[in-house]
Amino acid sequence: MLASRLSVELARLEHRKLQPPARATHPSRTHNGVQKVKEKKMKSNLKKFAFVPALSLVLAASVASAQDKMPCEGAKLSHKQVKALIVSAKTAEDHNKLACYFRSEARSEISNAKYHEEMAKLYKSPKHCNDFAEASRKAAEADNQLAAEHEKMAEEAK
């Protein structure tokens, strides 16, 4: 009986030796491989979207610096108020309000141009971003010219 058991065990061992080695699995199919693939994907996504917080900080800083430079007081004028003031402005105060409004608009356009310039760096074909940036720069220039005209009118009205 013992001899038969030993022969069965030996047969099993021989059978295992004759079998081909277990097939190696692709690294991505193992637990560690899956983990590495996930980590690689996360790093890739982080690289792609790392510019969002950086861009937010740049925009926040430019808005904060624009607000520090703003010599104007009071609430920002609405479009309706600006139109009314353009038609009725006679005093130095009225022209200063308009100058302040247009300086504020110019700063906003400059900020917008900087945003589009940053976006142009991220795209492979940045023509549309550069076009928007250029349009914003031109709008800022026009707003600054209007502000200068109203500042001149304010001086004449004194």
State residue 47's pLDDT score.
54
DSSP state of 50: T
Which pTM value belongs to this model?
0.54
Q: Which two tokens stand for residue 129?
A: 């971003």
Residue spans of the domains in the chain: they are 79-158
CA nearest 152: which of 101, 96, 80, 112? 96
What tens digit of pLDDT does each residue of 111-153 get? Answer: 999 999 999 989 877 899 999 999 999 999 999 999 999 999 9
Q: Which two tokens stand for residue 123?
A: 């795209």
What tens digit of pLDDT does each residue of 60-87 get? Answer: 555 444 444 446 777 788 999 999 999 9
